[in-house]
């Protein structure tokens, strides 16, 4: 190359939007205008339907939510926690027992 040769420089400009990330716990109680959500399977730990619900319910509407990647359908179709299921069964049993007791007391009056 001689001293009179011209060099061509190409550049590509991309637009940047200000954004920040936070966890579902941090998002609780907030309303967020536009939401980009990652509810895919995490590399470590697990994601529960509760996490996904809190995250997805923060946007102003579903038209303002974008999913970053696919997620497993089982996230919303499996039982969130066996302990919660057992607690639900216990509470249903207590409700039936209370109803029987209430009915007995009403009949004895």
Q: Which two tokens stand for residue 66?
A: 């974008």
| Closest-CA residue to 34 (of 55, 65, 62) | 65
Is 48:80 a contact under the CB 8 Å cutoff? yes
Is the predicted pLDDT of residue 3 greater than 80, yes or no? no
Is 39:71 a contact under the CB 8 Å cutoff? yes
Residue 45 has a pLDDT of 85
pLDDT band at 95 (very low <50, low <70, confident <90, very high): very high
- Distance from C-alpha of 29 to C-alpha of 32, rounded to nearest angstrom: 10
The model's pTM? 0.54
Q: Which two tokens stand for residue 52?
A: 């996904």
Is the predicted pLDDT of residue 98 greater than 90, yes or no? yes
Residue 2 has a pLDDT of 64
Residue 108 has a pLDDT of 80
- Distance from C-alpha of 35 to C-alpha of 38, rounded to nearest angstrom: 10
Residue 1 has a pLDDT of 57
Summarised one tens digit per residue, pLDDT across range 34-76 is: 888 998 888 888 888 888 888 899 888 889 999 999 999 888 8
């Amino acid at each position: 190359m001689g001293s009179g040769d011209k060099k061509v420089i190409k550049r590509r400009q991309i637009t940047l939007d200000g954004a920040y990330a936070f966890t579902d716990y941090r998002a609780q109680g907030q309303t967020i205008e536009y939401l980009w959500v990652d509810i895919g399977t995490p590399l470590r730990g697990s994601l529960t339907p509760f996490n996904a619900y809190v995250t997805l319910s923060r946007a102003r509407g579903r038209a303002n939510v974008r999913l970053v990647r696919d997620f497993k359908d089982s996230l919303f179709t499996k039982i969130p926690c066996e302990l919660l299921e057992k607690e639900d069964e216990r509470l249903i049993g207590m409700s039936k027992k209370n109803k029987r007791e209430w009915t007995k007391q009403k009949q004895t009056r």
